[in-house]
Structures are given as structure tokens and as C-alpha cells.
């Protein structure tokens, strides 16, 4: 049974460049979440989708961040332009059902902005 798949696993790029992180949720899951993890701020919820529709994007830091979910099996998180303070590990998670169900996490994308 395939879990949540994220790509790339590592990304190193220069500031100002566009970064696109990708996520394939578990088949059949109806909710998808994007998180950012840093030493300073811990695990932060950026945005989550339910049935491909963004429900809460209040955690998105600023307009440089955008997320899409064009279909039930794919989502992207884009940063444009990227800045060094965006360096973090970004996790995608998916879930079936409501908030009484656990989220299943991918292995994350470690992003370094130079």
C-alpha cells in the first residue's frame, strides 16, 4: 500500500527562484494538508484541502506561497520568489474522513534556499 509520496526529497536553489513541491496523497483520501517544519517554529499547518477545495489557507505565510490541488491525486505547493527564510522541511499529509481520523504523512521535502 503506497503512502503519501512527496517529491523532490531535497531541493537546493538560489533565492529568487521558483520552487515547486509535489504531493501524491493516498488513494481514496479526501483531505490533504501541507505543513512546514523548522527548529524555531515547529510544525506549522500551511493549508489544507477537502475534496480538492482549499478550506483553510490562513497558515500560508504570504503571497509568495500558493497551493493547488487540480485533482484528487495530486497537489503542489509553490514558492515564488523563494527566500532564505523559506528553508525548512515541508510535509504533505492526507486523510480519509473527518478530524477523528489520523493524518498520514509523507517523508517530506527538505528545502534549502541559498
Partner 1 sequence: AQSVTQPDIHITVSEGASLELRCNYSYGATPYLFWYVQSPGQGLQLLLKYFSGDTLVQGIKGFEAEFKRSQSSFNLRKPSVHWSDAAEYFCAVGGDNDMRFGAGTRLTVKP
Q: Pick the closest to residue 77 from 99, 85, 86 (CA basis).
A: 86
**How would DSSP label each residue in 49-105?**
EETTEEEE-TT--STTEEEEEEETTEEEEEESS--GGG-EEEEEEEESSSTTS--EE
Number of residues that bind partner 1 (CB under 8 A): 22
- State the DSSP code for 99: T
* 35-74 positions binding partner 1, by CB under 8 A: 42-43, 45, 48, 50, 55-56
Q: Which of 21, 91, 94, 111 binds partner 1 (CB under 8 A)?
A: 91
Q: How far is the CB of 83 from partner 1 (least distance, A)?
A: 24
Q: How far is the CB of 90 from partner 1 (least distance, A)?
A: 11
Applying CB under 8 A, which residues contact partner 1?
4, 33, 42-43, 45, 48, 50, 55-56, 91, 93, 98-108
Amino acid at each position: 500500500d503506497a503512502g503519501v509520496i512527496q517529491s523532490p526529497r531535497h531541493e537546493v536553489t538560489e533565492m529568487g527562484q521558483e520552487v515547486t513541491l509535489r504531493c501524491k496523497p493516498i488513494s481514496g483520501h479526501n483531505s490533504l494538508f501541507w505543513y512546514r517544519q523548522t527548529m524555531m517554529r515547529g510544525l506549522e499547518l500551511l493549508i489544507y484541502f477537502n475534496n480538492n477545495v482549499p478550506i483553510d489557507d490562513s497558515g500560508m505565510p504570504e503571497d509568495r506561497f500558493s497551493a493547488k490541488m487540480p485533482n484528487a491525486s495530486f497537489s503542489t505547493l509553490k514558492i515564488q520568489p523563494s527566500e532564505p527564510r523559506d528553508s525548512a522541511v515541508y510535509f504533505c499529509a492526507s486523510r480519509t474522513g473527518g478530524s477523528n481520523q489520523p493524518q498520514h504523512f509523507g517523508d517530506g521535502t527538505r528545502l534549502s534556499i541559498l
